[in-house]
């Protein structure tokens, strides 16, 4: 974006939106939108509080655990599906169903099965993230150059060698793309899980703030979450760019 001939930094359009928010907040049209400056001040005050740090920790823990399981289960399953037709035909319909299913509806069932705690949140997070990771790993393996596999076989590669040294790396650009989308979905998963359980992490905070009409706090926490999700996604996009040097020439 350029203004009066000057190039503005990439995120400068956000400043305009922040100003607009400030104006709308100052007009006092609705309690729902406090001025942006108030939200920022609340944010700064909120971050060092015990309640916030605790929520952040609980959420980060559930999120990381959920993503971890989605990755370590999803990638091998996706690779296996890409390599083996029988496994593929068995699992593909389920993966596709779960990918597009409204998983939120499953959370109450998970609560009954796994209790009203972190375990359920982790499982929800994994369920949100895993399907796209599987599908992308599968797609990555399916586009692999057959002669790379034959090359490895001709030099005596064991199936494990082929898996670790050929399939994984050949599919890595797609895998990372899947992980990036999976992680974004996991953010949804962890928050939805916490909201529905509403006694853990940010879910509890949101519940508290919205029930007591503490809108500045509500928005402050929301901004933190948006910021974290965005930073995470950008970091993974950066990793993806690091393997793009060979993605085009496989």
Partner 1 sequence: MQPIKPETRQAVTDSAVSVRNVSKVYGDVQALKDLTLEFPRGELTSLLGPSGCGKTTLLKIIAGLLPATSGEIEVNGQKVTGPGPDRSFVFQDFALLPWASVLRNVAFGLELRGVAKSEREAIAEKYIREVGLAGFEKKFPHQLSGGMRQRVGLARALSVNAQVLLLDEPFSAVDEQTRRKFQEDLLQLVKNEKKTFIFVTHSIEEAVYVSDQIAILLPRPSRVSEIIRPSSFRDKSVDNIRRDPEYLDIVDRIWASLRSYVE
- The contact set with partner 1 (CB under 8 A) reads 145, 147-148, 150-157, 161, 165-166, 169, 172, 243, 245-246, 248-250
Smallest gap from Cβ 250 to partner 1, in A, equals 5
Cα(42)–Cα(51) distance, rounded to whole angstroms? Answer: 14
Instruction: Tell me whether residue 98 is exposed, middle or buried, using C-beta atoms within 10 angstroms of its C-beta: 0 to 12, 13 to 18, 19 or more.
Output: middle
Residue with tokens 């729902």: 32
CB atoms within 10 A of CB 90: 11
**In the complex, least distance from residue 165 CB atom to partner 1, rounded to whole angstroms:** 8
Compute the least distance from the CB of residue 164 to partner 1, in Å. Answer: 11
Record the tokens describing residue 4, joined without a space: 């009066």
Nearer to partner 1 by Cβ, of 119 and 153: the residue is: 153
Cβ proximity to partner 1: between 83 and 185 the closer is 83
Minimum distance, C-beta of residue 244 to partner 1, in the bound complex (Å): 11
Closest separation in Å from C-beta 74 to partner 1: 21
- Our CB check for partner 1 shows the closer of 148 and 224 to be 148
- Rounded to 5 degrees, φ, ψ at 9 are -65, 160
Give the distance, in angstroms, between the CA of residue 32 and the centroid of all CA atoms in the same chain: 27
Query: What is the rounded distance in angstroms from the CA atom of residue 73 to the CA atom of residue 89?
Result: 18
CB of 175 to partner 1, least distance (A): 13
What is the DSSP code string of 98-159? Answer: HHHS-GGGGHHHHHHHH-SSHHHHHHHHHHHHHHHHHHHHHHHHHTS-HHHHHHHHHTT--H
CA–CA gap between residue 173 and residue 176 (Å, rounded): 5
Nearest CB to partner 1, comparing residues 222 and 247: 247
* 96/244 with CB nearer partner 1: 244
Q: 157 vs 229, which CB is nearer to partner 1?
A: 157
Nearer to partner 1, 119 or 165 (CB): 165
Residues in the chain, overall count:
250
CB of 82 to partner 1, least distance (A): 18
Q: Are 100 and 43 in contact (CB under 8 A)?
A: no
Dihedral (CA of 133, 100, 123, 195) sign: positive
């Amino acid at each position: 974006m350029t203004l009066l001939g000057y190039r503005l930094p990439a995120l400068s359009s956000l400043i305009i939106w922040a100003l607009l928010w400030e104006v709308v907040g100052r007009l006092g049209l609705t309690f729902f939108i406090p001025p942006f400056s108030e939200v920022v001040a609340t944010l700064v005050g909120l971050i060092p509080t015990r309640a916030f740090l605790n929520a952040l920790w609980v959420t980060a823990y559930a999120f990381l655990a959920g993503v971890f399981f989605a990755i370590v289960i999803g990638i091998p399953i996706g690779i296996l599906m890409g390599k083996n037709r029988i496994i593929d035909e068995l699992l593909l319909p389920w993966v596709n169903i779960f990918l597009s299913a409204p998983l939120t509806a499953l959370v109450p069932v998970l609560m009954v099965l796994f209790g009203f705690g972190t375990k359920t949140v982790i499982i929800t997070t994994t369920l949100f993230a895993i399907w796209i990771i599987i599908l992308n790993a599968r797609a990555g393996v399916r586009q692999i150059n057959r002669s790379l596999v034959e090359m490895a076989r001709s030099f005596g590669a064991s199936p494990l060698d082929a898996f670790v040294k050929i399939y994984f790396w050949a599919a890595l650009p797609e895998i990372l793309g899947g992980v990036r989308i999976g992680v974004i979905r996991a953010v949804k998963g962890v928050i939805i899980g916490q909201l529905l359980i509403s006694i853990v992490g940010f879910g509890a905070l949101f519940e508290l703030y919205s029930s007591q009409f503490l809108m500045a706090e509500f928005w402050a926490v929301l901004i933190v979450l948006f910021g974290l999700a965005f930073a995470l996604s950008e970091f993974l996009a950066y990793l993806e760019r690091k393997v793009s040097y060979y993605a085009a020439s496989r």
